[in-house]
Structure 1
């Protein structure tokens, strides 16, 4: 899993039929302090995240494991909205 911040939305009117109904969000992968490590990752949202939310994303084959994305051609999926990060 990777920590990320949702920075925007992605609209694609022409897409694979399996993507219909999925919300696509633009995310920056960040470290625990919020520094951007990887900008502009498009992730399918399975938890109702919004712009500005801190989230956990999974990538690669793990992205096709959540129930809403099983067998769907995605490489990144938002699986949780983060409430708090403690670097203590």
Structure 2
């Protein structure tokens, strides 16, 4: 799984029926120090995340597993909201 920060929302006028109730969020991938890593992606929100939330997400085939209909054309899905990040450096 990967870390990201929700930086916005994406609005679609049409979606597949089984994706109709899911939000699309713009997620900036981050590292364990919450520094941006690459470009932003669009992910389906299976965890009810909001703007500014640090989330963990999955891409590729595994993204579909977060949805009721797992065999979907989803490229990325938010799996959960991160409460806290602890690193080995923080313990020193």
Tell me, yes or no, whether TM beats 0.5.
yes
Query: 1:79 aligns to what?
Result: 79
Moved more, 15-24 or 71-80: 15-24
Query: 2:47 aligns to what?
Result: 47
TM-superposed CA distance for 1:67, in Å, is 4.0
| TM-score (structure 2 length as normaliser) | 0.87
User: What is the count of residue pairs matched by the alignment?
Assistant: 88
Kindly report the root-mean-square deviation, in angstroms, between the aligned alpha carbons of the 2 structures. Answer: 1.3
**Counterparts of 1:31-70 in structure 2 under 5 Å?**
31-70=31-70
Taking the aligned partners of 1:39 and 1:6, their CA distance within structure 2 comes to 13
Query: 2:10 aligns to what?
Result: 10
Identify unmatched segments of 5+ residues in structure 2: none
Higher CA-based Rg: 2
Taking the aligned partners of 1:68 and 1:79, their CA distance within structure 2 comes to 13
Higher strand share: 1
Moved more, 68-77 or 37-46: 68-77
